[in-house]
C-alpha cells in the first residue's frame, strides 16, 4: 500500500505577487542595462545632462544601483520558486536601492532631473521594494516559502 501526502497548493496571490514583482523589477533591469550600455535610442527620453552627470558617479554608486535592481529580480524569481531566500533578495535590494538613490540625491543632481516626477518615482520604487519584501516575509511566516 502506497502512502501519499496531499500536494501543497500555492495560493493564487503568491503567483500574482511573484509575476507582478518579476515584471516590475524586470523593467528596472532593462533600464539598468540600457542606461549603462549608453543605448542612444533609449536615452533620448532623458534630459541631455543625465549621462554626463552619471559619468561622475563612482563605481560603488553604480554597484549599489546594480544591487538594488538585480537583488529585486532575484527576489522575484525566488518568490516564484517559493524559496524563503526571496526575503533576503528583497532586503538586499532595498539596501542597495536606498543607498544608491540616496547617493544620487546628494550628488548635485541637475535641475532637469530634480523634479517632482523624479522624486515621486523614487518613492514608488522604494515603496514597491518594501511591499515585495513585506509580502515575502509574510509568505515565509505562513509557511508558503521553503
Q: Give 19-79 as a DSSP string.
A: HHHHHHHHHHHHHHHHHHTT-HHHHTTS-TTHHHHHTTS-HHHHHHHHHHHHHHHHHHHHH
Q: Is residue 63 part of a domain?
A: yes
78, 124 contact by CB (below 8 A): no
- The whole-angstrom separation of Cα 43 and Cα 73 is 22
Query: DSSP assignment, residue 114?
Result: S
Q: Is residue 104 part of a domain?
A: yes
Any idea of the CA torsion for 72, 74, 80, 85, to the nearest 10 degrees? -100
| Residue 8 pLDDT greater than 70, yes or no | no
Any idea of the CA torsion for 82, 86, 87, 90, to the nearest 10 degrees? -150
**Residue 89: domain span:** 16-141
| Residue 65 pLDDT greater than 60, yes or no | yes
pLDDT of residue 6: 45
Pick the closest to residue 113 from 53, 63, 28, 55 (CA basis): 53
Name which of 71-75, 77-81, 109-113 the model is least confident about. 109-113
Q: Over the stretch 111-121, which tens digit does the pLDDT of each residue have?
A: 888 889 989 99
pLDDT of residue 105: 85
Name which of 7-11, 35-39, 104-108, 138-142 the model is least confident about. 7-11
Using CA atoms, how far residue 110 sits from 32, 46, 105, 120, 123, in Å, is 19, 12, 10, 16, 19
Q: Is residue 11 part of a domain?
A: no
Q: Is residue 38 part of a domain?
A: yes
User: Average of pLDDT values for 16-45?
Assistant: 96
| Residue 48 pLDDT greater than 60, yes or no | yes
Q: Is residue 52 part of a domain?
A: yes
Confidence of residue 4 (pLDDT cuts 50, 70, 90): very low
What pTM does this model have?
A: 0.87
Q: Is residue 9 part of a domain?
A: no
Q: Is residue 23 part of a domain?
A: yes
- The whole-angstrom separation of Cα 143 and Cα 34 is 38
Name which of 15-29, 79-93, 101-115 the model is least confident about. 101-115
Please count the structural domains in the chain.
1
23: region left, alpha or beta (phi > 0 left; psi from -120 to 50 alpha): alpha
Q: Is residue 1 part of a domain?
A: no
Amino acid at each position: 500500500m502506497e502512502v501519499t501526502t496531499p500536494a501543497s497548493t500555492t495560493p493564487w496571490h503568491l503567483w500574482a505577487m511573484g509575476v507582478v514583482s518579476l515584471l516590475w523589477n524586470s523593467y528596472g533591469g532593462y533600464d539598468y542595462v540600457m542606461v549603462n550600455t549608453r543605448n542612444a535610442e533609449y536615452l533620448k527620453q532623458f534630459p541631455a545632462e543625465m549621462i554626463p552627470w552619471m559619468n561622475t558617479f563612482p563605481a560603488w554608486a553604480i554597484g549599489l544601483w546594480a544591487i538594488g535592481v538585480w537583488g529585486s529580480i532575484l527576489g522575484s524569481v525566488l518568490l516564484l520558486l517559493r524559496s524563503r531566500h526571496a526575503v533576503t533578495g528583497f532586503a538586499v535590494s532595498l539596501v542597495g536601492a536606498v543607498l544608491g538613490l540616496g547617493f544620487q540625491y546628494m550628488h548635485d543632481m541637475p535641475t532637469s532631473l530634480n523634479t517632482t516626477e523624479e522624486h515621486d518615482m523614487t518613492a514608488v520604487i522604494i515603496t514597491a521594494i518594501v511591499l515585495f519584501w513585506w509580502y515575502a516575509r509574510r509568505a515565509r511566516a505562513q509557511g508558503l516559502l521553503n
